[in-house]
């Protein structure tokens, strides 16, 4: 669902704003909280007289420390009736802090009409206030994201307008407009991914997801190709077909191309697009199955990224490949013990039909290597429960065959507040994927290693990278949020969208 919230810089003092909620930033200083009233903030002397008590007393009373995202609200009479005044903690005003502050403000402002703050324009003293402004906008918009199919809307609506007060400056200048645009583009791409992820699988089948991808590509002016089941058959995509065989809703592959002039390099992004994962004949118990409409998060993230590259001025040629199938349970489903032939001819013995993600990814990755020969290959997938178990919902698992690529992604994750942790591709474990009847087995067969699930899956995928620099993001943990936390909302998070966009657009 599109954002109900608009954010724009406006010239002039906070105190003069017609907003019904005003947010004053509070830094967490070494000697206690510091309310920032310089710049476009109101005159502190004037302010004290209009508050229920002097500011310093209010800070003590409410135990304000200024930690990023801390919120304290009270009414104030700024000369035109009562307004809501918010003390908004911004910590040290790093981009991460401002992202949390923006999110907290958007939540506090639900049900209000207009909000004004000076918080977005604080820097952390390291010189790049723009990154902070972008992060604030990103946080505020993503925390206002909602997805509901309810006939009767519940809860207060997101705030329609957030004004970023800019003191004595030209609020329309590029200095402010550009970072705000960037934050908006990053948030919009993420919200697109969230919408697709949150859509129930009754509606979201492979053809539906492919059609959404075509639509999005069309709007972004990108070339797109869709392989239907007949095309997949002709092309030799035996793994995508095998996984999709159990469903009455046939699989698809989608390719989307972003091709700037004189690109610096060519990256292929591959996304796992299982529109619902029952486990197949290796059926999941209901508790594990009920969240599996989100198993196409990787594909949604890749599509979100492609949708925003032009807007963000990326200099990288990017091809997105979405490997889409429904992993269903039926008499026509693939069986444990079946052997399938992947794109390019290598065979896989399917010992567990619930390890389907790596199968569809293998076809798309092999295709990328053979037909697109990119400089780097990055895949995004809700691949293993083991990655979630190892790192929880806060951190994505990163596996990579190239240190420079890994470093760049870790750095981008740091900047976007989507943390990754690099995991080892343990060479000794490789032989666990040996099969007596095929080139590979789709799960580990040597229990001597204790079945490190995320690593086994990554080692399986590595077989299809043709030696290219490759990185794999297992987002099974952070792909979904059970709580409203900073910029996250309940349901699909679109984790990875913003980090990949930061990586691809400097």
Number of residues this chain uses to bind Mn ion (CB under 5 A): 3
The one of ligand BES, Mn ion, Zn ion, none whose footprint includes residue 160, by CB under 5 to 8 A per kind, is none
Q: Does 295 bind Zn ion (CB under 5 A)?
A: yes
Least distance from Zn ion to the Cβ atom of residue 451, Å: 17
Distance CA 39, CA 12 (A): 9
User: Of the two residues 274 and 308, which places its CB atom closer to Zn ion in the complex?
Assistant: 274
**Under a CB-based contact definition with an 8 Å cutoff, are residues 224 and 255 in contact?**
yes
Q: Confirm or deny that 356 is annotated as ligand binding.
A: yes
The one of Zn ion, Mn ion, ligand BES, none whose footprint includes residue 333, by CB under 5 to 8 A per kind, is none
Q: Please give the distance of CA 323 from its chain centroid, rounded to a whole number.
A: 18
User: Of the two residues 277 and 487, which places its CB atom closer to ligand BES in the complex?
Assistant: 277
**238 CB-contact burial (10 Å; exposed 0-12 / middle 13-18 / buried 19+):** buried
Rounded to 5°, the CA angle 88-90-91 comes to: 135
Helix (H) or strand (E) holding 58: helix 55-61
Q: Does 326 bind Zn ion (CB under 5 A)?
A: no
**Under a CB-based contact definition with an 8 Å cutoff, are residues 247 and 326 in contact?**
yes
CA torsion sign, 464 to 467 to 468 to 469? positive
Least distance from ligand BES to the Cβ atom of residue 288, Å: 7
Residue 358 among the catalytic residues: yes
Distance CA 381, CA 361 (A): 9
Least distance from ligand BES to the Cβ atom of residue 354, Å: 4
User: Of the two residues 138 and 295, which places its CB atom closer to Zn ion in the complex?
Assistant: 295
Q: What is the dihedral of CA 250, 192, 398, 482, to 10 degrees?
A: -100
Q: Does 326 bind Mn ion (CB under 5 A)?
A: no
Lay out the site mask for Mn ion across 269-298 (x = CB under 5 A, - = otherwise). Answer: --------x---------------------
Nearest to 93 by CA among 64, 124, 118, 66: 124
Looking at residue 506, the DSSP 8-state letter turns out to be: -
Least distance from ligand BES to the Cβ atom of residue 274, Å: 6
User: Of the two residues 384 and 393, which places its CB atom closer to Mn ion in the complex?
Assistant: 384
Least distance from Zn ion to the Cβ atom of residue 476, Å: 8
Q: Which of 354, 456, 474, 487 binds Mn ion (CB under 5 A)?
A: 354
Token readout for 488 is 């996250």
Least distance from ligand BES to the Cβ atom of residue 459, Å: 12
Q: Confirm or deny that 295 is annotated as ligand binding.
A: yes
Q: Confirm or deny that 354 is annotated as ligand binding.
A: yes
**Under a CB-based contact definition with an 8 Å cutoff, are residues 144 and 5 in contact?**
yes
Distance CA 448, CA 199 (A): 41
CB-CB neighbours of 50 under 10 Å: 14
Residue 284 among the catalytic residues: yes
Token readout for 332 is 């026509």
Question: Which is catalytic among the residues 99, 107, 204, 358?
Answer: 358
β 440-441/470-474 pair status: unpaired
User: Of the two residues 390 and 400, which places its CB atom closer to ligand BES in the complex?
Assistant: 390
The one of Mn ion, Zn ion, ligand BES, none whose footprint includes residue 352, by CB under 5 to 8 A per kind, is ligand BES
Distance CA 155, CA 447 (A): 50
- Which residues are bridge partners to 23 per DSSP? 86, 117
The one of Zn ion, ligand BES, Mn ion, none whose footprint includes residue 68, by CB under 5 to 8 A per kind, is none
Question: Which is catalytic among the residues 182, 284, 317, 388?
Answer: 284
CA torsion sign, 123 to 127 to 133 to 138? negative
Q: Which stretch binds Mn ion (CB under 5 A): 48-56, 336-344, 348-356, 461-469?
A: 348-356
Q: Which stretch binds Mn ion (CB under 5 A): 108-116, 208-216, 352-360, 376-384?
A: 352-360
Q: Which of 89, 357, 477, 491 binds Zn ion (CB under 5 A)?
A: 357
Q: Is 134 left (phi over 0), alpha (psi -120 to 50) or beta?
A: alpha
User: Of the two residues 274 and 300, which places its CB atom closer to Zn ion in the complex?
Assistant: 274
Least distance from Zn ion to the Cβ atom of residue 368, Å: 20
Least distance from ligand BES to the Cβ atom of residue 443, Å: 5
Q: In 245-399, which ranges are continuous DSSP H helix?
A: 286-289, 297-308, 357-367, 385-391
3-state secondary structure of 438: coil
The one of Mn ion, Zn ion, ligand BES, none whose footprint includes residue 242, by CB under 5 to 8 A per kind, is none
User: Of the two residues 313 and 337, which places its CB atom closer to Mn ion in the complex?
Assistant: 337
User: Of the two residues 356 and 363, which places its CB atom closer to Mn ion in the complex?
Assistant: 356
The contact set with ligand BES (CB under 6 A) reads: 277, 295, 352, 354-357, 382-386, 388, 443, 453, 476
Nearest to 322 by CA among 386, 256, 395: 256
Active site positions, annotated: 284, 358
Binding residues for Mn(2+): 272, 277, 295, 354, 356
Q: Which residues in this chain contact Mn ion in the complex, by CB under 5 A?
A: 277, 354, 356
Could you list the residues that contact Zn ion (CB under 5 A)? Answer: 274, 277, 295, 357
Annotated binding residues, as ranges?
272, 277, 295, 354, 356
């Amino acid at each position: 669902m599109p954002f109900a919230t608009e954010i724009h810089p406006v010239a002039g003092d906070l105190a003069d704003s017609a907003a019904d909620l005003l947010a004053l930033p509070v830094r967490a200083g070494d000697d206690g909280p510091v309310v920032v009233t310089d710049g476009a903030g109101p005159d502190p002397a004037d302010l004290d007289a209009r508050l229920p008590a002097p500011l310093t007393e209010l800070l003590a009373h409410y135990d304000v420390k200024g930690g990023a995202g801390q919120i304290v609200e009270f009414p104030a009479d700024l000369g035109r009736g009562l307004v809501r005044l918010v003390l908004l903690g911004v910590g040290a005003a790093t981009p991460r802090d401002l992202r949390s502050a923006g999110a907290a403000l958007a939540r506090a402002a639900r049900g209000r009409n207009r909000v004004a703050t000076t918080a977005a324009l604080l820097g952390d003293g390291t010189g790049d206030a723009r990154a902070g402004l972008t992060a604030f906008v990103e946080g505020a918009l993503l925390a206002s994201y909602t997805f509901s199919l309810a006939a009767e809307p519940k809860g207060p609506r997101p705030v329609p307008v957030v004004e970023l007060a800019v003191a004595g400056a030209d609020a329309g200048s590029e200095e402010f407009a550009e970072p705000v645009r960037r934050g908006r583009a990053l948030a919009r791409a993420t919200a697109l991914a969230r919408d697709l992820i949150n859509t129930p699988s009754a509606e979201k089948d492979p053809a539906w997801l492919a059609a959404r991808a075509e639509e999005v590509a069309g709007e972004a002016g990108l070339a797109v190709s869709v392989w239907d089941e007949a095309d997949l058959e002709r092309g030799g995509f035996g793994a995508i077909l095998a996984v999709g065989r159990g469903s009455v809703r046939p699989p698809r592959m989608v390719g989307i191309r972003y091709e700037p002039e004189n690109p610096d390099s060519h990256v292929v992004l591959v996304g796992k697009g299982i529109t619902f994962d029952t486990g197949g004949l290796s059926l999941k118990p209901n508790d594990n199955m009920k969240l599996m409409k989100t198993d196409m998060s990787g594909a949604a993230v890749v599509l979100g990224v492609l949708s925003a590259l032009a807007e963000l001025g990326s200099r990288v040629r990017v091809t997105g490949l979405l490997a889409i199938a429904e992993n269903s349970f039926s008499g026509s489903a693939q069986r444990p013990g079946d052997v399938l032939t992947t794109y390019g001819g290598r065979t896989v013995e399917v010992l567990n039909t619930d390890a389907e993600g790596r199968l569809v990814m293998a076809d798309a990755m092999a295709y990328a290597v053979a037909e697109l020969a990119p400089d780097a290959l990055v895949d995004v997938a809700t691949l293993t429960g083991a990655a979630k178990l190892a790192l929880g919902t806060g951190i994505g698992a990163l596996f990579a065959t190239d240190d420079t690529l890994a470093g760049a992604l870790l750095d981008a994750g740091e900047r976007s507040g989507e943390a990754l942790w690099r995991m080892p591709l343990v060479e000794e474990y490789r032989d666990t994927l040996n099969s007596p009847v095929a080139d590979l087995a789709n799960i580990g067969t040597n229990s001597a290693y204790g079945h490190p699930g995320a690593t086994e899956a990554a080692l399986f995928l590595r077989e299809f990278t043709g030696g290219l620099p490759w990185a794999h993001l297992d987002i099974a943990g952070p792909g979904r949020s059970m709580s409203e936390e900073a910029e996250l909302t309940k349901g699909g998070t679109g984790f990875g969208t913003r980090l990949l966009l930061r990586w691809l657009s400097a």
